[in-house]
A and B are shown apart, each in its own frame.
Chain A
Amino acid sequence: KAGVTQTPRYLIKTRGQQVTLSCSPISGHRSVSWYQQTPGQGLQFLFEYFSETQRNKGNFPGRFSGRQFSNSRSEMNVSTLELGDSALYLCASSFSEGMDTEAFFGQGTRLTVV
């Protein structure tokens, strides 16, 4: 069974630009969550989508947005990039129903804003 796939793996953007990251979950998983990971702040929850609806949201500014498609693939968009947005962005998919909430992570997208 294929794992969670995130593209691209690495990205360099300039301040003020916008970026879109993509995540393909494990087949059959309807939940996709996005996280920002930095050495100083650890793993910070951005938002979670379940069956195309945003089910949970973290405390990030409106510049961070996401969506989920009918095939459960998800995209995350960051507009007006700031230097502080440089981080590893991780996507996790899960079955997230009943007792099965194990999160399966992709390898992440390393975003560098210059």
Chain B
Amino acid sequence: TQLLEQSPQFLSIQEGENLTVYCNSSSVFSSLQWYRQEPGEGPVLLVTVVTGGEVKKLKRLTFQFGDARKDSSLHITAAQPGDTGLYLCAGERSNYQLIWGAGTKLIIKP
């Protein structure tokens, strides 16, 4: 059973379009982390959100943590081919364990 549900699992869009990836759970997390993984590499941290309702921006990427700290979203504006990769969310439990979503495979076509 996946404690963190990520959707969609796969997304293929044209360059310039906008997209949103969702990460949902029935559990409360002390923080929520988003990672991007490229082929042949391990995941790399993009951002950590800690406070309910928090919004963080990283250039064209906007991350939001739900008010109840159970869900999060990643919005990409004007996607570019360089955004292609596997996006993973991970919720931190009180015992420091990270609970991982299954990932969203994103392909941006030129």
* A67 CB to nearest B CB, Å: 18
Give B16-54 as 1s and 0s: 1 = Cβ < 8 Å from A's Cβ atoms. 000000000000000101010000111111001010000
Are A105 and B43 closer than 8 Å at their CB atoms?
yes
A103 at interface by CB-CB < 8 Å:
yes
A26 at interface by CB-CB < 8 Å:
no
Please, which residue of chain A has its CB at the minimum distance from the CB of B37? A105
Give A82-114 as 1s and 0s: 1 = Cβ < 8 Å from B's Cβ atoms. 000000001010001001011111111000000
Evaluate whether A96 and B96 lie within 8 angstroms (CB atoms) in the complex, with A42-B102, A43-B88, A102-B48 already known: yes
- Interface Cβ pair total, 8 Å cutoff: 61
A48 at interface by CB-CB < 8 Å:
yes
Q: How large is the interface on A (under 10, 10 to 19, 20 to 34, 35 or more residues)?
A: 20 to 34
Residues in B with CB closer than 8 Å to A90 are: 42-43
Instruction: Tell me the complex Cα distance, A50–B96, Å.
Output: 10
CB-CB contacts below 8 Å: B72-106 with A: 88, 90, 92, 95-103
Instruction: Tell me the complex Cα distance, A43–B100, Å.
Output: 7
6 additional contacts (CB under 8 A) given A35-B100, A99-B50: A42-B100, A42-B102, A45-B97, A55-B95, A103-B35, A105-B42
